[in-house]
Structure 1
Amino acid sequence: MEAPGLRERKKRRTREAIAEAAFALFRESGFDGVSVADIAAAAEVSKPTLFAYFPTKEDLVLRRFVDGGRGSALVVRERPPGTAALDALRRHFLDLLAERNPLTGLNDGAEAMTFHHLLYSTPALMAHLAGYMVDQERDLADALLASGEPSDEFTAHLVAAQVFSAQRILTYHNAQEIRGGRSADDVYPAAVARTETAFELLRSGSATSSRKS
Structure 2
Amino acid sequence: MTDELGLRERKKLRTRAAISTAATTLFLERGFDAVGVAEVARVAEVSKRTLFAYFPSKEDLVLHRFSDHETDAADVVRARRPGQGALAALREAFLRDLTEREPVTGLCDAPEVVAVFRLVTGTPALVARLAELSSAGEAALATALIEAGVPAPDADLAAAQIAAVRRLLVAANMDAVAAGIPAAQRHPDAVAAADRAFLLLSSGVGFA
User: What TM-score comes out, normalization by structure 1 length?
Assistant: 0.89
The question of whether the paired residues in 2 share the 8 Å contact of 1:19 and 1:64 is answered with: no
The question of whether the paired residues in 1 share the 8 Å contact of 2:146 and 2:155 is answered with: yes
Deviations 1:134-173, CA, capped at 9 Å, x for gaps: 221112112112212xx33222111111111111111111
Query: Quick one: structure 1 residues 95 and 69, their matched pair in 2 at CA, closer, same or farther if it must change by over 3 Å?
Result: farther
Partner of 1:175: 174
Question: Is 2:174 aligned against 1:157?
Answer: no
- Between 157-166 and 133-142, report the one with greater CA deviation: 133-142
Residue 115 of structure 2 aligns to which amino acid in structure 1? T
The question of whether the paired residues in 1 share the 8 Å contact of 2:71 and 2:137 is answered with: no
- Between 95-104 and 19-28, report the one with greater CA deviation: 95-104
Deviations 1:30-86, CA, capped at 9 Å, x for gaps: 110111111112112221111111121111011133304652111111111100000
Count of matched residue pairs: 205
Residue 204 of structure 2 aligns to which amino acid in structure 1? G
Please give the alpha-carbon distance, in whole angstroms, between the structure 2 residues aligned to 1:129 and 1:104: 13
Please give the alpha-carbon distance, in whole angstroms, between the structure 1 residues aligned to 2:154 and 2:17: 40
The question of whether the paired residues in 1 share the 8 Å contact of 2:70 and 2:133 is answered with: no
Please give the alpha-carbon distance, in whole angstroms, between the structure 2 residues aligned to 1:191 and 1:21: 32
Question: Is 2:106 aligned against 1:113?
Answer: no
Residue 167 of structure 1 aligns to which amino acid in structure 2? R
Please give the alpha-carbon distance, in whole angstroms, between the structure 2 residues aligned to 1:11 and 1:192: 38
Q: Report sequence identity in percent.
A: 50
- Between 122-131 and 71-80, report the one with greater CA deviation: 122-131
Gaps of at least 5 residues in structure 1 are 209-213
Please give the alpha-carbon distance, in whole angstroms, between the structure 1 residues aligned to 2:39 and 2:124: 21
Residue 31 of structure 1 aligns to which amino acid in structure 2? F
Q: CA deviation at 1:16?
A: 0.5
Partner of 1:90: 91
Residue 156 of structure 1 aligns to which amino acid in structure 2? A
SS in 1 for 2:101: coil
SS in 2 for 1:108: coil
Question: Is 2:38 aligned against 1:37?
Answer: yes
The question of whether the paired residues in 2 share the 8 Å contact of 1:18 and 1:39 is answered with: yes
The question of whether the paired residues in 1 share the 8 Å contact of 2:70 and 2:136 is answered with: no
Please give the alpha-carbon distance, in whole angstroms, between the structure 2 residues aligned to 1:200 and 1:171: 17
* Structure 1 segments (4+ residues) deviating >6 Å: none
Deviations 1:108-148, CA, capped at 9 Å, x for gaps: 12332232222222222222222222221112112112212
Please give the alpha-carbon distance, in whole angstroms, between the structure 2 residues aligned to 1:139 and 1:168: 15
Deviations 1:8-42, CA, capped at 9 Å, x for gaps: 11111111111011111111111101111111121
Partner of 1:28: 29
Deviations 1:78-119, CA, capped at 9 Å, x for gaps: 111100000000011111111211111101123322322222
SS in 1 for 2:32: coil
Partner of 1:189: 188
Please give the alpha-carbon distance, in whole angstroms, between the structure 1 residues aligned to 2:133 and 2:172: 21
Partner of 1:211: none
SS in 1 for 2:52: helix
